[in-house]
Copies of this chain bind each other. A is one copy, B any other.
Amino acid sequence: MLDRLKSSTGARTPAIDLHDLVTELFPINRSLTGAGVRQTLAVVARHVDLAIHEVPSGTPILDWHVPAEWNIRRATISDMAGRRLVDFADHNLHVMGYSRPVQAVLSRAELAKHIHTLPEQPDLIPYRTGYYADDWGFCLPDRLWREMTDDSYRVDIDSDLTQGALTYGELFVPGLTSREVLITCHVCHPSLANDNLSGIAVMTALAMRQARQTRRLGYRFLFLPATIGALAWLDRNQSHLDRVEHGLVLTCLGDPSEFHYKQSRKSAPIDRAVAHVLKHSGHSHEILPFSPYGYDERQFCSPGFDLPVGCLMRGVHGTFPEYHTSADNLDFVRPECLDQSYAVIEQVLDLLDRDYVYERVDGRGEPQLGRRGLYRAIAGQREAGGATQMDLLWVLNLADGKHSLLDMAIRADVPFARIEAAARLALDASLIRPAASPGSASGDTGRSEAP
């Protein structure tokens, strides 16, 4: 514990430029399956040692089947004079995901059944998919659609739905123990920057960072097509889900909204950890209760699995005007917001890794701090924002084999890092030691296996 505790310093800066990575990934046409997901994972794999999994179309996955693989090359609406009015080449949101191929001339009325617009945001292209709909469609600005007043149009979608595969990426960074932290993001949205290229970029940088360090817990990073990708991973890993001690779904981390943390279904230590870090982060934030709608926490927290998985966001799906439109673009996502999100999550991961239970070597009464030079040690840390004498007294009082460092930080109402610094002083002075059998008595925080 001592050595690793000492590795906790260092600036919380991502190893790569997050906005650059978002920019690189932006043009790729992702969907639930197909070439776009593979290209995206290939970019991520330049940074981390990603395992790519392919699950064949038709494979049964719990209540589902892996759908056909969808790829698209070209999609246009032209007028009868041959002018291209809507072109997938201009923006991949123009085509509804999973559109089947079509080549036809249609009356405006017939075409209208396949057109999606946003009358209240007339300049924006909406994002629509029809994964299981066996349909086709175009998405365009409402203003453009209202200008298209010809009697007939020619539509041309060159796509195919074939027996291929569902693709997802996985990186496991083993820890000193068999306990794991699950971190996931979705990779199935086309050119939408916040939802969820921001999540992919932040998670890539976190994976790079965790891979560089020896840690108590293992870290499993999953780049998943939403729902069916998460279900596929769950289905294939059912026998060792009990290793998952904490989990976090990452999404919409680049916009300037305040942070939002959605709690896990069952009230888990991850909820206390994220709330603690946000509280002391100086960033405004809101804690939301679990609900069975949102991202893949829906699957991880379904009753048969009920994993301790929360979801961290800045803007909340469905509540910001850019959501699922062409306005969720590279301008909407800001470098400093990405970096803030990265730093918050890095702190959460460090906290989870170091949230250990200690016990006093002799817990009867306060020890004599002066004799051990601890008053001097505290004075020496003062400038560096280290532990105060009060922090040390809290650690010595609560190191009873029942309280973790996070329990202490919450009760003392000080940042985890200060309690951790105090614990280091107490460890160095041989006043505390890792608890022999991390407790069952407290009920405050889940306890972790010793390394």
**Chain A residues within 8 Å of B, Cβ to Cβ:** 62-64, 132, 227, 230-231, 234-235, 238, 265, 291-293, 298-299, 301-306, 359-360, 362-368, 370-371, 390, 393-394, 396-400, 412
B contact residues around A397 at 8 Å (CB): 265, 292, 298, 301-303
Q: How far is the CB of A359 from chain B (nearest CB, A)?
A: 8
B364, A62: Cβ atoms closer than 8 Å: yes
B contact residues around A234 at 8 Å (CB): 364-365
Give the one of A231, A265, A304 with max B CB within 10 A: A304
Q: How many copies does the complex hold?
A: 3
B227, A305: Cβ atoms closer than 8 Å: no
B contact residues around A393 at 8 Å (CB): 292-293, 298
B contact residues around A394 at 8 Å (CB): 291-292
B292, A362: Cβ atoms closer than 8 Å: no
Bound-state Cα–Cα, A234 to B370, Å: 21
B370, A302: Cβ atoms closer than 8 Å: no
Bound-state Cα–Cα, A299 to B234, Å: 50
B contact residues around A365 at 8 Å (CB): 62-63, 230-231, 234-235, 299, 302, 304-305
Partner of A366 from B227, B235, B265, B371 at Cβ < 8 Å:
B227
Give the one of A292, A305, A360, A362 with max B CB within 10 A: A292
B contact residues around A63 at 8 Å (CB): 362, 365-368
B303, A360: Cβ atoms closer than 8 Å: yes
A400, B360: Cβ atoms closer than 8 Å: no
Bound-state Cα–Cα, A365 to B359, Å: 40
Q: How far is the CB of A425 from chain B (nearest CB, A)?
A: 15
Bound-state Cα–Cα, A392 to B434, Å: 46
Bound-state Cα–Cα, A360 to B303, Å: 8
Q: Please name the residue on chain B nearest to A231 by beta carbon.
A: B365
Q: How far is the CB of A320 from chain B (nearest CB, A)?
A: 19
B contact residues around A227 at 8 Å (CB): 366
B364, A64: Cβ atoms closer than 8 Å: no
B contact residues around A230 at 8 Å (CB): 365
B304, A362: Cβ atoms closer than 8 Å: yes
Bound-state Cα–Cα, A266 to B80, Å: 77
B304, A64: Cβ atoms closer than 8 Å: no
Q: Please name the residue on chain B nearest to A61 by beta carbon.
A: B365
Bound-state Cα–Cα, A303 to B408, Å: 13
Inter-chain pairs besides A63-B368, A265-B397, 18 sampled, C-beta below 8 Å: A63-B362, A63-B366, A132-B368, A230-B365, A234-B364, A235-B365, A291-B412, A292-B390, A292-B396, A292-B397, A293-B390, A293-B393, A298-B366, A298-B397, A302-B397, A303-B363, A303-B398, A303-B400
B contact residues around A368 at 8 Å (CB): 63-64, 132
Please name 21 pairs of A and B residues whose Cβ atoms are closer than 8 Å in the assembled complex, sorted by A. Answer: A62-B365, A63-B362, A132-B371, A234-B365, A235-B364, A235-B365, A291-B412, A292-B393, A292-B397, A293-B390, A298-B366, A298-B393, A299-B366, A301-B397, A302-B363, A302-B396, A302-B397, A303-B399, A303-B400, A304-B362, A304-B364
Closest 9 CB pairs of A and B: A304-B364, A304-B363, A303-B400, A292-B397, A292-B393, A303-B363, A63-B367, A62-B365, A231-B365
Q: Please name the residue on chain B nearest to A303 by beta carbon.
A: B400
Bound-state Cα–Cα, A307 to B62, Å: 45
Give the one of A132, A265, A293, A364 with max B CB within 10 A: A364
Q: Please name the residue on chain B nearest to A241 by beta carbon.
A: B364
Bound-state Cα–Cα, A363 to B62, Å: 9
Q: How far is the CB of A311 from chain B (nearest CB, A)?
A: 14
Q: Please name the residue on chain B nearest to A64 by beta carbon.
A: B368
B contact residues around A299 at 8 Å (CB): 365-366
Q: Please name the residue on chain B nearest to A403 by beta carbon.
A: B303
B contact residues around A398 at 8 Å (CB): 292, 303
B contact residues around A292 at 8 Å (CB): 366, 390, 393-394, 396-398
Q: How far is the CB of A439 from chain B (nearest CB, A)?
A: 12
Q: How far is the CB of A188 from chain B (nearest CB, A)?
A: 16
